[in-house]
Amino acid sequence: LFRSPGSWPSGRIGIPWSRAAAVTVRGLAPAMSAGDVLSGKAVSALVRERLKKEVASLKEQAPGFRPGLAILQVGDRDDSNLYISMKLKAAAEIGINANHVKLPKTATETEVLRCITSLNEDSAIHGLIVQLPLDSDNPMSTEI
């Protein structure tokens, strides 16, 4: 989203940047000076709009197709629940069918892997997010 650090004068980012209209959709890189900071809200809106158009295009090419996303959560952390609700809302806004799959805090690594395998084999699921951290009573590796 930014120029490479070598192209920044003195390698610093300083002044807040709020000219959202200057952000370009194509590369999401605005016409801005090196000391400006991107507006996360403006960039996020542009990314969502671009994705919404891409999903609509996919649906036109294959009538009846609806991209599917599964978000797998182990446990019930409040912060994870908040992040997942934001992901579900964003997915709905762009036309993706998103499902929240919850496993209990007592789930084992084997059970989590079995669930991931099942989701991978589901033809309605085209993407999978495993919400970290895994809030499990059992030890699990997140580097599988």
Tokens at 37, concatenated: 């900071």
Q: Read off the pLDDT of residues 84-93 as tens digits, 9 standing for 90 and up.
A: 999 999 999 9
Angle between helical axes of 78-94 and 40-61 (0-180°, round to 10):
50
Q: Strands, E, within 1-144: which ranges?
A: 15-16, 36-37, 68-74, 97-103, 127-130
Identify which has the larger pLDDT, 37 or 2: 37
Identify which has the larger pLDDT, 104 or 64: 104
pLDDT of residue 39: 86
- 109-116 mean pLDDT: 96
Q: Which percentage of the chain shows pLDDT scores above 70?
A: 76
pLDDT of residue 142: 81
Task: State the DSSP H helix or E strand holding residue 41, giving kind and residue range, or none if neither.
Answer: helix 40-61
Residues that are catalytic = 87
Q: Which residues contact 49 (CB under 8 A, 6 or more apart)?
A: 25
* pTM higher than the cut 0.85: no
pLDDT of residue 32: 63
pLDDT at 19 over 80: no
Strand-pair category, 127-130 with 97-103: unpaired
pLDDT of residue 29: 53
Q: Read off the pLDDT of residues 132-142 as tens digits, 9 standing for 90 and up.
A: 999 999 999 88
pLDDT of residue 7: 37
pLDDT of residue 36: 77
